[in-house]
Amino acid sequence: MIALDHVGKAYAHDVVALQDVSMRVGANEIVCLLGPSGCGKSTVLNLIAGFEAPTAGTVSLDGRAIHEPGPDRGVVFQEHALFPWLTVLQNIVFGRRLRNGKEDERHYSDLAHKYIAWMGLQGFEHRYPKELSGGMRQRAALARVLVNEPRVLLMDEPFAALDAQTRVSMQMLLLNVWERLRTTILFITHDIDEAVFLGDRILVMTARPGRIKEEVAIPLERPRGIDVMLGSTFTHAKARILGLLREESPPLPTIANE
């Protein structure tokens, strides 16, 4: 479904973010992208979202080159990006209403209430973002994307700012949503446990300029519960990925004895 073929991305002052990146994300897959800080993970997402254009190679969806953002690709960021002056319900329907006006208002209103229920936000429809916890704000942000019925979810470290317990709850919620919708997901994270728990495959990137270093398949059955983190399959995959990332880490400075 999503294809990057020999993609490069350079910025001003000869900063090369990506170099010869080729990758695939198939329909209904959850693929996680891992790599050291500054390796270009978010740049990959921005190219697929259509926020940026590659300086080499092609980025395509179903064989059609991506040149701009589109409703078929929904993006969930690390920061919720909710409008503070709108309620939860108003935030969720905002994009759909802006695009379609009142043409299908009943449809997207019904969808909004469905996703509010899925996200456990009943009773908070008319609250403002400042009245919500961090986890609730991210649930509202996810509902806002889902109401547009995208074929692809692009998630840029969406749970990184949450505490550990809330983060696990959001991971379980995302898997539950995926089981119902089977939306294709590209998930960017720094967290190895998160990647192994969520992903069908993990693409590990090199340090900048970013390239795909290795693909690691995750042979865990679905649906997944939190207990899979205690099993040997999970532990072996985590150890393999940790080793790959260590190879890309700069050496630590030595402290001389005085």
Domain ranges of the chain: 1-72+153-163+186-252
pLDDT score for 101: 67
In this prediction, residue 239 has a pLDDT band, given cuts at 50, 70 and 90, of: very high
pLDDT in tens, 14-71: 889 999 999 999 999 999 999 998 899 999 999 999 999 999 999 999 999 999 999 8
Question: Smallest Cα–Cα separation from 154: which of 66, 63, 256?
Answer: 66
Residue 258 has pLDDT above 70, yes or no: no
Rounded-to-integer distance, Cα 31 and Cα 216, Å: 10
Residue at token pair 């978010």: 42
pLDDT score for 103: 64
pLDDT score for 66: 97
pLDDT in tens, 115-165: 999 999 999 999 999 999 999 999 999 999 999 999 999 999 999 989 999
pLDDT score for 19: 96
Residue 174 has pLDDT above 70, yes or no: yes
Computed over every residue of the chain, the mean pLDDT equals 93
pLDDT score for 81: 85
| 219 prior amide bond cis, ω within 30 | no
CATH H superfamily, domain 1-72+153-163+186-252: P-loop containing nucleotide triphosphate hydrolases (3.40.50.300)
Residue at token pair 């019925």: 149
| pLDDT above 70 coverage of the chain, percent | 98
pLDDT score for 245: 94
Rounded-to-integer distance, Cα 44 and Cα 160, Å: 18
Amino acid identity for residue 2 in this structure? I
The two three-digit tokens of residue 26, written as one number: 């198939």
In this prediction, residue 102 has a pLDDT band, given cuts at 50, 70 and 90, of: low
